[in-house]
Amino acid sequence: MSQQFHSPRLPSARLAACCTLFVIASGAWAQAPTAKRLPLPVSTHDIVRPLPPAQLQDFAAYVDSARKTFDVPGIAVAIVKDGKVVMEQGFGLREVGKPDKVDAHTLFAIASNTKAFTAASLQQLAEQGKLKMDDRVIDHLPWFRMADPYVTHEMRIRDLLAHRSGLSLGAGDLLYWPPTSYTTKEVVERLRNVPIKNGFRSHYAYDNILFAVATLVIEQASGQSYADYVRQHIFQPVGMDESLIDKTYLRPGMDVAMGHARFNFKELKPVPPMAWLNDPGAGGIYASVHDLAKWMNVQLAGGALPAGADGKPRRLFSADSQQQMWSMLTPITVRKPPIPELAPLVPNFYGYGEGWFLSDYRGQRLVWHTGGWPGMVSRVTLVPGLHLGVVVLTNQESGAAFNAVTWRVLDAYLNPDRKTDWVAVYDKAVKQSEAKADDSFSKHEAARDKHGRPSLPLAKYAGTYRDPWYGDVIVSDDHGKLRMRFSKTTQLVGTMTPWQHDSFIVHWDDRALNADAFVTFALDEDGTIREMRIKPVSPLTDFSFDFQDLRLVPVAADQPQARDD
């Protein structure tokens, strides 16, 4: 998940990217890369590395300061310039309390940085004549439906990559976040009931669910699973032999980072790896900075690959395909930064292409994306005009850390005369964001009627409640305590405590979620429950917990369980 000025909690990011603290745009107009600007691709790991700029001479100490300030156990960084690897290095630990160190080959979940791989896969299939980017989705998936018939009919494959569908921020994410038992096809089938709240192609709202549709289009057009296609047509040609499609491919003894989260927004603890099997095209890939250095160099070379054994030139995708991926499809409003010190990062323009954010910094366009996962967030940033790329992978949910490291690298090349301490800047921003979150709950407390009691005996609130797109949520009476369980999501189980009147707070058993929510029941004139609504308590809760989009109504005891389709 990704979103400008997103709170530090996660992109989603967790999933998205976007999913992280103050991801201020920094890209450039998506222009066609010209032949004279594209260097011949080189093998990025078999040559003498160039020296980094003078501003990065203390880079190890700087990264360690970011780790300590934002309590990140481990960070991995790679920098490429002019087709060569300047640096690929790990800092800190794979897991707190264990001696294994992060290195250039340590695998991290790259989450929404996967979206660029999905976009590249579709462009490859277009070059092969198996689809056109402006084909209607229903041309390839005839059963595909959105909540609006016009959007269903006009949704093009390119639209799936551009966050301009009319869906609201993170709409439908609860169908796979936290992991559910739905299949990818079931997730996409349920799109027909996910509410469309904005005009089609009217403005930007980050989503993940349409990348599940893109996943199925890739599988339909190629005749391969998404995992097999990406492995064969991207990982292998690029030489990304360490990368994996999702957590299910991890094996004991692998060099892999453990994610970490602040339980209850406070205590840092490891969180178990997560497999995202029903929307892999939005955020499933695990990769190392060693492999992502290769990926960045191919991107910066306009899709050109290192020559094969026969010396003949090879391409991953054409320059025209890259132009399309790096062309702005969806403008994004540029907003005022949360603190003045972030003003230098505010772009002149900001938008989204196909799986990439686009903006500018100090006269250079940037092409970039972020990713967020349980316990891991990351950022990939390309500066095409300088043939420069930097990737930062972390094993804690701190967008501040990857941003502070990224901007130090970019300044070393774009602003060498000034050395900004971005760690200090983002530290201030984080503290302000946390203070505002505390203030938000204080306002809830102040407005609360502490003497307000539930209108009904607690047992009367128990029952099955059904939403058109998610399915069933069960409230049960457990020896005088109300328990809530999302039927398709094993992690969403918690205890409901009275807040005021017919409102409760559900405290999830999994305290790493940081997604406790208000639960409010609406009663009719006879005291019968008409509806149950849910919304996050904290503004720091990841936007992928889109509880607010649920419209849960009681299900009669004799009604069958909700179907999966």
The confidence band for 6, taking pLDDT boundaries of 50, 70 and 90, is very low
For residue 310, the model assigns a pLDDT of 83
Whether 19 shows a pLDDT value over 80: the answer reads no
Report the chain's mean pLDDT, rounded to a whole number. Answer: 90
Tell me the HSE value of 71 on the side-chain side, using a 13 A CA sphere: 13
Q: What does CATH list as the number for 35-432?
A: 3.40.710.10
Alpha carbon 341 to chain centroid distance?
26
Stated length of the chain: 565
The confidence band for 311, taking pLDDT boundaries of 50, 70 and 90, is confident
The confidence band for 563, taking pLDDT boundaries of 50, 70 and 90, is low
Give the pLDDT confidence of 70-82 residue by residue, as tens digits.
999 999 999 999 9
Query: What does the H/E/C string look like for 251-300?
Result: CCCCCECCEEEEECCCEEEEECCCCCCCCHHHHCCEECHHHHHHHHHHHH
Phi and psi of 229, rounded to 5°?
-65, -50
For residue 22, the model assigns a pLDDT of 42
- Are the beta carbons of 503 and 520 closer than 8 angstroms? yes
Q: What does CATH list as the number for 458-555?
A: 2.40.128.50
> Do 458-555 and 35-432 fall under one CATH topology?
no
Give the pLDDT confidence of 146-201 residue by residue, as tens digits.
999 999 999 999 999 999 999 999 999 999 999 999 999 999 999 999 999 999 99
Give every CB contact of residue 142 below 8 A, 6+ residues apart in sequence: none
Q: Which helix (H) or strand (E) holds 152?
A: helix 149-154
* Distance in angstroms (rounded) separating the CA atoms of residues 169 and 10: 13
Verdict on whether the full-model pTM lies above 0.85: yes
Share of the chain above pLDDT 90, in %: 80
For residue 440, the model assigns a pLDDT of 85
Kindly list the domain boundaries of the chain, sorted by start residue.
35-432, 458-555
For residue 24, the model assigns a pLDDT of 38
Q: Which of 15-29, 438-452, 474-488 has the lowest mean pLDDT?
A: 15-29
Alpha carbon 235 to chain centroid distance?
21
Q: Among all chains, which residue has been given the structure tokens 């090879």?
A: 314
Give the pLDDT confidence of 351-367 residue by residue, as tens digits.
999 999 999 999 999 99
Radius of gyration, CA atoms only, the chain: 23
Whether 290 shows a pLDDT value over 90: the answer reads yes
Cβ–Cβ contacts within 10 Å for residue 248, how many? 12
Q: Among all chains, which residue has been given the structure tokens 């398709």?
A: 488
* Distance in angstroms (rounded) separating the CA atoms of residues 555 and 467: 10
Give the pLDDT confidence of 250-271 residue by residue, as tens digits.
999 999 999 999 888 788 999 9
Whether 454 shows a pLDDT value over 70: the answer reads yes
440-449 contact pairs (CB < 8 A, 24+): 440/538, 440/539, 441/537, 441/538, 444/537, 448/499, 448/500, 449/500, 449/501
220-226 contact pairs (CB < 8 A, 24+): 220/140, 220/141, 221/125, 221/130, 221/131, 221/140, 222/121, 222/125, 222/130, 226/121, 226/280, 226/281
Cα-based distances in Å from 80 to 34, 39, 52, 355, 369: 20, 13, 10, 21, 16
Name the token pair of 62.
């700087």
Angle (CA) 31-285-298 rounded to 5° is 35
For residue 273, the model assigns a pLDDT of 84
Alpha carbon 371 to chain centroid distance?
4
Query: Is the pLDDT higher at 12 or at 517?
Result: 517
- Are the beta carbons of 240 and 233 closer than 8 angstroms? no
